Structures are given as C-alpha cells and as structure tokens.
Amino acid sequence: MTKREKFNPDPSIHISKMNVIIPFSPDVPCDSNGQRMWWAFLASSMVTFFGGLFIILLWRTLKYLWTVCCHCNAKKKTVHRINTGDGIKRIDKEDPAASEVGWMTSVKDWAGVMISAQTLTGRVLVVLVFALSIGALVIYFIDSSDPIESCQNFYKDFTLQIDMAFNVFFLLYFGLRFIAANDKLWFWLEVNSVVDFFTVPPVFVSVYLNRSWLGLRFLRALRLIQFSEILQFLNILKTSNSIKLVNLCSIFISTWLTAAGFIHLVENSGDPWENFQNSQPLSYWECVYLLMVTMSTVGYGDVYAKTTLGRLFMVFFILGGLAMFASYVPEIIELIGNRKKYGGSYSAVNGRKHIVVCGHITLESVSNFLKDFLHKDRDDVNVEIVFLHNISPNLELEALFKRHFTQVEFYQGSVLNPHDLARVKIESADACLILANKYCADPDAEDASNIMRVISIKNYHPKIRIITQMLQYHNKAHLLNIPSWNWKEGDDAICLAELKLGFIAQSCLAQGLSTMLANLFSMRSFIKIEEDTWQKYYLEGVANEMYTEYLSSAFVGMSFPVICELCYVKLKLLLIAIEYKSDQRECSTLINPGNHMKMQEGTLGFFIASDAKEVKRALFYCKACHDDITDPKRIKKCGCKKLIYSKNSYNGYIKSIEEDQQSALSPKKKQRNGGMRNSPNSSPKIMRHEPLLIPGNDQMESMDENVKKYDSTGMFHWCPSKDIEKVILTRSEAAMTVLSGHVVVCIFGDVKSALIGLRNFVMPLRASNFHYHELKHIVFVGSLEYLKREWETLHNFPKVSILPGTPLSRADLRAVNINLCDMCVILSANQSNIDDASLQDKECILASLNIKSMLFDDSIGVLQANSQGFTPPGMDRSSPENSPVHGLVRQTSVTTGANIPIITELAPLAKPGKKVPVISFSQDKSSGTSIQMITELVNDSNVQFLDQDDDDDPDTELYLTQPFACGTAFAVSVLDSLMSATYFNDNILTLIRTLVTGGATPELEGLLAEENALRGGYSTPQTLANRDRCRVAQLALYDGPFADLGDGGCYGDLFCKALKTYNMLCFGIYRLRDAHLNSQSQCTKRYVITNPPYAFELVPSDLIFCLMQFDHNAGQSRTSLSHSSHSSHSSSKKSSSVHSIPTTNRTNRAKSRDSRDKQKKDMVYR
C-alpha cells in the first residue's frame, strides 16, 4: 500500500469537502476532523528560540548585577585590608584558589575539543554532522512529494524514524556546541542554531501528534554553506581558487534550495487568512525551476506564485537573488574557466627517465634548451622533459610544447612548493635543471632565487641531482652551505660569469679558442656548402662536438700519444683527454697526459667527433678484426669482443710514480652512474713508465720555504696584496712605460653596476703552468670607482695595472699603447640595466668601432710588441735549422695571442716557375683594424654592428656570423648548451672548466668561499708538481720545425709529427679568412676550423691550436730553447728577436712534398 493510498480517508466516513483539510486514515490515531495543526509545529520552534533567548538575556542581566555588587564589596574589603595591614597575606592565601580550574571550565574545554576540527574526533564529528544534515535534506526531498501536513504513525513510517534519529544526534551536537560556546547569545543567533531550532523540535511534535508537517525542514539546505570547510578538513581543497569556487557554488545552491523550499511551503499551504483556500499543488522541483527562471530574469510565466505570501517573498527574493545570480554565476564561470590548464600531475612511464626543468622559463630559454637537448646527433634520447613554472605559457611557448608533445610536458607550479614538487615526481626524476635569467637587472637577486630553488628541492629530496645556472661566481659559495649539495654525486653549478670570462681570457692566449670551445659543447647540425668559401671549412668544424666513450681493450698497454694517433688516423676520432680512477675510487681528468701514461681496461676517453655513433668506434675497435680496415665506418662490434671483455675484466687502478700529483691535473669527481654510459670493462689503470721531466734550476730555486710565488694550491701565480694606489697609472706614466705585448681590458662600469667578477678573467692568465716571465701584463681601462670594488679579488695577482678613464677616450687608449697590445678585451657591467635589448651592448659596440677607426704613428714601430710566442720544448734556436740568414725576418713558431703576420708580397722559391706567398713578420700597426680584439655581447643580434664590412643577416644565428667565427665576439648565450651537455655527461663540464679556468678546482672554490681571496703558499714539491699540466697555444707554420708542412702539407702529417716529437696535441686551425683565394688579400681576419680531416691542406699563414706540455726548462735561460716572450719588467723597452727562415727549409720543401705524397699513397697504419 503506497503512502498516498494510505492517506486517502475511509469512504464510509462522510465529511464535507470544505471541512476536510488534511488526509487521515482510521489506522492512524489522528484528528478525525482533519484540521491543520501547523501552528503546533511552528510554536515548538518559536518557544524554543525565544525561550532560550530570554533565559540567556536574563542570565546575563543577573550576572551583570551580581558582578557590580561583588565589585563594590570587594573594593570596600580591599580598602579595609590595606588599612589593617594584613592585605598581602590574605591575597596570597586566596590566589591558589583563584587559580584552580573549575569543573565548568573543564567541561567547556572538553566540549570544545570534541567539536574542533583540529583533532581527529572533532573532524569525524563535524563531517558526520554534515553528512547527516545532507541525509535529512534528502529525506525532505522524498517527503516533499506528499502533502504538506498529513497523519503518520511513527512506528510504521520508516523515513520518520530515520529523521528522528538524525535529529536526536543534531540535538546532542547542539548541546556540545552550546557548552563550548564562549558567547552564548551570539551562538543562539547563529545560522546553524536557527536551523536546529526550526527543524529539531517539530520532529518531536510529529511523534507526539502522530502527524507530519514539512514546514521549515528545507532549512537543512543551509548546511551546504559549510561544504568547503568540510572539504578543507578532509584535505581535499588546498588552493585558494578551489576553495573560492566551492564557496560560491555552495552559497548559491543552498540559497536556491532554501528559497524553493519556502515557496513550496506557502504555495501548497495557502494563505492562513484565506483559510488556506488559495493554495496550488506545486512539486518541490517545480519551485526550484521557478526560482531559477526568476533569478535569471527570464520568467517564462508557466509557473508562478498565487498566494500572497509567495508573491511577497518573490518580490524580496528577486532583489537579492538577481544580485546574487548576476555576481556569483559570472565569477563561478570565470573560476572554472581559469582553472590551471597545466595543474595536473606527471605520470611516470616505466623504462623512461624524466628530468625537471625550472627557473627562468621563456620562449627563448626553452627553445635553446630543447634544440640542444633533443639534437639528432645525440644517441636516442629516452628522456622526458618536464617543465615546471608558476606562470602559464604564452601562445608561442605553448605551441613550442605542442610541437614536442611526445617528449615535453609543462606543469604550472613552483619548486618552492612541496606539493608541486610531488606533482612532477621530483623524487623519481633523473635530474633537476635550473635555468637562470642572463639578462636580469640584478644578478645577485637572480642567483638568490636559484639558490632558494636548490634549497627547496634538496629539502624535499636530498638525493636528487641538480644542475643549476649561476650568474655570479661569488654566489657559488652559498651552494656549499647546503648540506645535501654534493658535486661528487653529480650536482653542478654552471657559473656563466666564470666561464664567459674564462673563455675570453683563453682568447687572449690563443685567439679564436672561445669560438672553438663554444662550438664543441654545442650540438650543431652539419651544413654542407659546395662553394669554396671560408664558411665551408668553418661549418665543417662546427659540426664537431665533444663526446665520451670507453676505450677498447685493444688499446691496453699503449701510451696516450700512440692511442691518440691511432684514433685520429684509423678511427677518424680526436682523443684529447682521458678519465681515470684512483685507489680511493675518485675520478680525475687528464688532458693530453703525454707518453708516460699506459692505458689499461676501462679507460674513459674524451673525443671530438661529429656524432655519438662515430665515437663508438673507439669502443668496438679490435686489432684482430679491424687492423686491415681502411674505412672507419666498417668498424662494428665484433664477435671476439665478448671473449676479450670476459677474459680481461677486472677492477683496474691507477699507478703513478708520484700519486700526490693527481690533484694538480684536474678536479676529482666520484664516478656516477647517471648521465654516463656504463663501461663494458673495469676501471682504468694507468701507469707512468717514463720519469717526469726534472725541474729546471729556477724551479729548484723557487722551492724556497721563505718565498711565496704561488697560491696555496700551486695552481696560480701569487703576490702579496697591493693597495690599488700602487697599480694606478696616469696617462703620462702609462706612455712612459711603453707597454707592449700586454692585454688591455676596456671595461664599462660605475658605482651602481653589478660586479662581473674580473678575478675569473685574470686567473687563467695567471695560471702556474706559465713561467713568470711569460705572464702578459694586464691593464684595465675604466672607472676607478668600479675597479675599486673589484680590486679586493685582484690584489694578489702580479703584473696588473689600472688606468682610470673611459674606453671611449682615445687619449686613454693611446696612453696604454693599444696598438701594441696582444689582445684588447671589451667588457661592460652596465648591460643588464637597459630594458631595450638592442641598446644593451651600445657601450661595447661604440668602443669597438672607436678602436678600429683609430690611426697610429708608424714611428713607434720600433717598439712593436715582442710577441714571438713559444717554440716547441726541446727545439734549440742555435740549431742549423734556425740559424739566421740574409733576407727575411721571422717570428717563432708558437704564439699566445700575438700579433698575426699577414701576406704582403710574392717571391720566387728555389723551384723555378712557382710562386708562394711570403710573410711579412712586422704587422702593420698604423690602423686600429689590425688590433686583436674580442668584444662581449649580451644580445646576439647586436653582433651585426661589430663588423661593418661583413654581409651577415640580422636574423643569422650567432655561431654563423663572421665576428663569432673569427673569435672577435662572444655572447653568454652560447653557454646555454652546457646545461644539456652537463646532464648527459658531467665530465664535459669538468673538462671545459679545466681548460678554461686555468686549473680551478672545487677545493679552490671552497677556499675562495672562506676568504674571498687567494692565499699564498710556500713552494713545495707537491705544489710545484701542480704546474705540470697542459695549456692551449697556437703553433705557427711559416717557420720552425713544421715549416715544411706549412707549404701545402697535410694536417694529419702535422698532427702526427707534433704528437710524436713534442707531445703536442693539435685540434684545430686558425686560418686567414681569404687564405683559400689565389689572389692577394690584405684582410687580417681569421676564422676557426675545428678538427680538420687528415688530408686537409695547410697554408704557411695558418696558426694551429694545440695542447702543449709544461716546459720545466723554460725558466732556466730565456735565450735558450724554449719559450721566448716578454720581459717581466713591463717598463723596459723590448726589441724583437729576429731570425730568418733557413735556406735549407726553402730548398727542401718541394722535395719534402714529393716524398710525402709518395708516402701517403703507400701508408697503411700499423
């Protein structure tokens, strides 16, 4: 029997239709007259509300009167006690009683804990009350289909029983809230309390009267307002936007449902003064529909209010509802529409690593990173890149992500938020890379932001590998303060200022080296040019990169020069360095270690090659299988390789005559598995079979315990600190000094400029693998106020001077003899203070153009720089090959950034009918265009303004422009490639820093972090051994032992001869731009050719980049074998040592070429 059938009256009972108000049944003891009793239900609620309110007000009134009376009596007693003198004792006795906590307070605290969401019990109770309130609202929805008032039997009506149970629980919870409330009056007037007043008492009346009245039970919908609080208690809502959205939705829905309940009540009941005769049957959901069309001002008219109460309510509801609809709905839609598009979580893929990239995420930084990271020349990059940034990407950046959607994902968030770190699964990431804003106005603030990112990531997951970019060198010290920062486990900080200035400093020793090194660690695709132009040879070298691979067991027992020669000739690979492990399992990098090293199993080699597949030849090479193969592409993994590995696999070690010298060779780093391929063999074992060179006399004498010539690590020249006033030169003093063969540093800066860290520029030029007399004098031209701020880090370096002034003043430039310098460097500390990118380099460009347009008096030519450079160790100028003869003058064969000779005339050789260029060894010094110069740029596009005679397009990439190819321009943007290069192989950064910084180690960085200055140390065998390391130089071919190869010889022959004879490792050519033309050219510009092929033809004007061994005997006699260079006294006049090319060289060149061509045809490498 349904509920509606149950309410139909018995047909036998005759009642007038006008008198029947409510349905009833004989089975239910209800009013037989069917009269409404809504007033009883409403009265129970009103009596409860107003009765309780009256009691609270009465209690407050009585309490106030009692307090006033007690206060007056206490005041009288206090005066009496003071007068009698026993007040202090009585007060002391009463204090303990006053301090005791009463039972009412204890109960109140207990009730507060029970309803508080701060405890588990409180949270469970709050959530349970909310859930039961929603349950009671659902019961109301069910009962709304019945008449407003009807007779019901409590024992038979299941919904009434459930509703009764719910309300009993609400009553108990109301009691707890009342006990815990501090202000009972305010609690009584709360919305939740009013809801309980008008919903709980009517249920008890229903049980008593055996009838049900829907009444105000719809007020339970107001509990929905607390929905956001409940979700926050459950830790579901965490962001402000989500909380706000749920708040708006819950308020809107609860108001809507509550108002619909009131309309349902009055429309189905009618007006009391009309004897309820004007009612209309409306379901609850029809009332919901009515209010929605009313709030939205649509008003179809199909449903409307008929009762006076309903219409009156609608008048006021339209005012509030319309305002709420107009404000809440657009805001809700906006919040839903603005929900983070990239707010999800990363789902890791099994078998695929991922890295997290954060920091400065822009279109430029991301595109540069992806272009290098995902380059096709790398092995299959099975790494997914997850970008995390707190700002959503713009349309261009979003399009870039979509183009790489298979390997790139973006999430909006901050690494400073642990929740966001959990979203990108930082704990399972292979590494975290932090990009810096190179163009920021405040470099220290940018570094501080990145350091905070490192702290946050390391705090969340201490074992994660982090590679971060830093702008300022002195800020690297703060990373050492992070307990979990460990460079031995792969954490690296790429300091852009350190590397940038190091690259520029190395260009002062071998111009063009900055371009070559920058191209080596950047992934560039091969661009083929058919025309015979300088770009053809340059781009062939640009396609080379630096890779690492383990050496095959076929190399076991060979010395480094032999392996290097075999790799170059047979495998078409250039091996420049190796990595080894000590007994303590610490790794070190040896650059061109020489013939005293013998290779063992598992040696890791550093190669220069065009792609990673070519480097595999060094791993697969087998003498038994590949000895007779002439095509290196046919060298594949052979079957006997596995037998060799299994037979010779063991844990190798390094044995050296002097184990203490290992720290001098390169920074030590513990072997890591991440970012490097596993070796098929065991650890390397290298033994020194030949003794080291015996130190020269000057080195023995320098081991005086009372003299400090080097820093405490023995890596750099050192002198006691000097006051800046002692190194300041005036224009007249600089002119009288007659500087030559020096380095001029033009620097723009002022008191407010950010420091660029000139120490990183000076340190490579003061490396201890130079003898003291080989050090080039450094003259800074710039603002004295700025240089005073930098001087604290420079005062321990010798041969440094300052000329206060401006690089734009020609008088200052002439005073320092800029036309006689070996290199002019143009730097600026003001570049980051300008918003317009095209104007950031204006000072450097103006200074460069100013110097190039200067003209100099030829009369000063007698004081030309003595920039002969280096002769290979062991070569004596007194030998017949170097004896002076009449006719021509020459410079010696290895230079360190000296003035470059140019081709000026043609002269006949011994062979009739053939003409070759003859070099004029006195370079024209009358024009500023002949001054060797390197300019630092911030904006890559500004490179077009440096050379007015080039044809570079403004949209041309930096590495394709002529100034960059010639080594006369350097931009910090080329260092971006180091991030991905370091991730794939952390040894690459170690090798680059070893080559560029002159020997900086993590130990030295820790020392600089403590004292911010180099500490002098006594010369000991251990520190002096640190001088025995390679350095970069340039080998001239127009004279010396390689002169016969310079005239049409092969680069491969030169490579082998230099390696066998002098342990010099050649790795590139610095060639005149127009050397490929047969016509005469006065252009002195040169460009870089990296790792030319074996058969590459040389010309006499070529300069060869090489890695030279340290010459212990160079300091004994400056007139004997080795390194002729400038005097250690910059103030003394220098004269050029002139020697001529011997006739034997000239007459035998043709014979040498013929015999060499014949040998190449028959040559098969053994």
Query: What is the rounded (10 degree) CA torsion for 54, 60, 62, 64?
Result: -150
Strands (E), 931-1008: 933-937, 969-971
Quickly state the pLDDT bin for 809 (edges 50, 70, 90): very high
State the average pLDDT for the chain: 77
- Out of 148-157, 313-322, 658-667, least confident range: 658-667
543 CA to centre of own chain? 26
Q: What is residue 1004's predicted lDDT score, i.e. its pLDDT?
A: 77
Which residue would you say has higher pLDDT here, 1146 or 301?
A: 301
Let me know: does 359 contact 434? Beta carbons within 8 Å: yes
pLDDT surpasses 80 at 965: yes
The size of the chain, in residues, is 1166
Q: What is residue 11's predicted lDDT score, i.e. its pLDDT?
A: 42
Quickly state the pLDDT bin for 78 (edges 50, 70, 90): low
Let me know: does 969 contact 963? Beta carbons within 8 Å: yes
User: In this predicted model, what pLDDT tens digit does every residue of 1060-1082 receive, in sequence order?
Assistant: 999 999 999 999 988 777 666 66
**Mean per-residue pLDDT, 761-766:** 93
Pairwise CA distance, residues 768 & 663, whole Å = 14
Which domains, and CATH codes, for the chain?
1-57+101-207 (no CATH), 239-339 (1.10.287.70), 353-485 (3.40.50.720), 711-724+744-759+781-865+930-986+995-1025 (no CATH), 880-924+1029-1162 (no CATH)
Residue 469 pairs in a beta bridge with: 494
**Mean per-residue pLDDT, 543-550:** 89
Quickly state the pLDDT bin for 341 (edges 50, 70, 90): confident
Pairwise CA distance, residues 72 & 55, whole Å = 26
pTM: 0.70
Please report which helix (H) or strand (E) contains residue 748, including its range: strand 743-748
Please report which helix (H) or strand (E) contains residue 576, including its range: strand 574-581
Nearest to 260 by CA among 288, 225, 220: 288
pLDDT surpasses 60 at 8: no
User: In this predicted model, what pLDDT tens digit does every residue of 583-615 receive, in sequence order?
Assistant: 666 677 888 888 887 887 888 899 999 888 889
Please report, as a single letter, which amino acid is at residue 643: L
Q: What is residue 13's predicted lDDT score, i.e. its pLDDT?
A: 40
115: left (phi over 0), alpha (psi -120 to 50) or beta: alpha
Q: Which DSSP string corresponds to 533-559?
A: SHHHHHHHHHT-EEEEEEPPGGGTT-B
- Out of 141-150, 282-291, 768-777, 855-864, least confident range: 855-864
**Mean per-residue pLDDT, 775-785:** 95
Please report, as a single letter, which amino acid is at residue 164: M
Strands (E), 984-1090: 1016-1017, 1031-1036, 1065-1072, 1086-1090
In degrees, rounded to 5, the angle at the alpha carbon of residue 1056 between the alpha carbons of residues 1051 and 1062 is 115
Q: What is residue 1164's predicted lDDT score, i.e. its pLDDT?
A: 34
Which residue would you say has higher pLDDT here, 601 or 852?
A: 852
pLDDT surpasses 90 at 361: yes
Q: What is residue 1079's predicted lDDT score, i.e. its pLDDT?
A: 63
**Mean per-residue pLDDT, 500-524:** 91
The residue whose two tokens read 């007259």 is 33
Residue 780 pairs in a beta bridge with: 745, 802
